[in-house]
Structure 1
Amino acid sequence: MHVPVRRGQLKLPLQRDVPAGAAEFVCSPSNVEAMTVLAHWPDGGEQVLALHGPAGSGKSHLAAIWAERVGAIALHGAEAGLADPLELEGRPVLLDRAQDADDETLFHLINLAQSGGGALLLAARPAPRAWDTALPDLRSRLDVVRAISLQEPDDTVLAAILRARFAARSITPGDELIDYLVRRIDRSAAAVESVVDRLDAEHRPVTRALARQVLESDDSTGELFD
């Protein structure tokens, strides 16, 4: 099936900057396979690769490290349809939230990556095999994309996320506070953001005792973290 290339798309101010502190990504058993593969990809390997895993597993962060290393053009979800294919040809491309891109865009990006000189990294929660598509040719391409999974944050990663979120608010938490929260909150970036918001909003020294009060208060109102 041939899908015509669209013309007149916007230029690429839509590419997004890699996040600050990308080099501080924490390696752990939950992400070591993906880190190892991306450290050298696409040198001598397949031209399309997918990272998938739950929210907070570090897909976007790890993909951004790769994009920074290879100088990739970074696109995001449905916005990828605005990119001019001529500007992407022969270039490494990162597509974050790839499952949100339309079928035609995905088809073009995969074909461009395989046409020579390019590479396409797809980051999404579900693996490509699980994405809905109405294009049979796209379905066959997605089904053979190599997919590497990241697991939900383990203790090491969750502690690092907590420290980073506290640091963004100029809070330096003690080890006992981090250990306490790691054992009690849900393993997701959303849960981290929520508990840090709550603790910061108290406008008091952020200690284990305060964390216990906040979590017990949430438990009593049905706002459970775990």
Structure 2
Amino acid sequence: MPRQLTLDLGHRPALGRDDYLVTPANALVMAALDMPDAWPQGRMLLLGPEGAGKTHLASIWAAETDAIWQEASALTPEKADRLAVENGAVVVENADLAAGLGAAEQAMFHLWNLCAARSCWLLLTARLPPRDWGLSLPDLRSRMSAMAVTRIQPPDETLLTAVLVKLFADRQLVAPAGLIEWLVPRMDRDLGLARHLVAALDTETMAERRGLTRTLAGDLLAKLSAERDATDTPD
């Protein structure tokens, strides 16, 4: 049977507080984000690998603080001036991707100073600590390295299960009974892998016009795990 043409129409993940399960893996992060008044100089860096839930946590914080949202790679000095509102709040996502972009690095340094002058909370998200970003601007590098950090820990079994349930629901996929419980002990504790797996299951079931089965899930999990391991292995 020929593969069906699939269209990526996107989906709307649920990003509210009620959609976020707090477990020992992320309880300290949530507690830190709930107390911005306690942040040193009103600034915090949220660290976590791809797919760990940084966007979800930052979205909760932004909704509850009326924060303005900005992708770091598109940041400019002019935008920085508009973002740093007196007694306001700003989220800069993927701050590590500003490295090597002269205008974005200058703008982040400008935003850092403006937020201090205007008593504006500043939350940055990144996959890696600042020492690994490759920043060109020395003054920005020193300030980022001194920033307070809260880090998302690898998910425990409870969190991985809950994330899989949410990912299936976000894509309106119906998981057969017992599938998620079967997957969890066979997966690495990696929320990025979980996201890629559910996306691949969504695409494959539509393209092949086949049902969502344990065999299909196991085959795709093995494929994605092998691809990730090959990417992570040094040449």
Q: Name the aligned partner's letter for residue 91 of structure 2.
A: L
Q: Work out whether 1:104 is the aligned partner of 2:101.
A: no
From 15, 26, 49, the equivalent of 1:21 is: 15
Answer 1 or 2: which has greater helix percent: 2
Moved more, 174-183 or 24-33: 174-183
What is the aligned residue count? Answer: 206
Q: Distance in 1 between matches of 2:154 and 2:179?
A: 21
Higher RCO (CA-CA < 8 Å; seq separation 6+): 2
C-alpha distance in 1, partners of 2:138/2:228? 43
Please provide the CA RMSD for this pair: 2.8
Q: Which residue of 2 aligns with 1:5?
A: none
More deviation, 72-81/182-191 = 182-191
Match of residue 212, structure 2, among 200, 203, 206: 206
Distance 2:108 2:62 in 1: 18
Question: Counterpart of 2:44?
Answer: 49
Query: Contact (CA 8 Å) 2:15, 2:60: kept in 1 or not?
Result: no
TM-score normalised by structure 1 residue count = 0.77
**Which residue pairs with 1:78 in the alignment?**
73
**Number of the residue aligned with 2:185:** 183
Contact 1:89 1:118 in 2 (8 A): yes
Output the CA distance in 1 between the equivalents of 2:105 and 2:82. Answer: 18
* Other-structure match for 1:133: 135
Alpha carbons of structure 1 residues 112 and 175: separation in structure 2 relative to 1, 3 Å: farther
Structure 1 residues 225 and 76: CA distance shift in structure 2, 3 A: same
Matches within 5 A, 1:142-221: 142-174=144-176, 176-200=178-202, 201-202=204-205, 203-212=209-218, 214-215=220-221, 218=223
- Does the aligned pair in 1 maintain the 2:95–2:124 contact within 8 Å? yes
Alignment correspondent of 1:68:
63
CA distance in 2, matches of 1:127, 1:86: 27
Report % sequence identity.
34
Give the Å deviation of 1:174. 4.7
* Contact in 2 for aligned 1:186/1:225 (Cα 8 Å): no
Structure 2 length-normalised TM: 0.75
Q: Distance in 2 between matches of 1:93 and 1:56?
A: 21
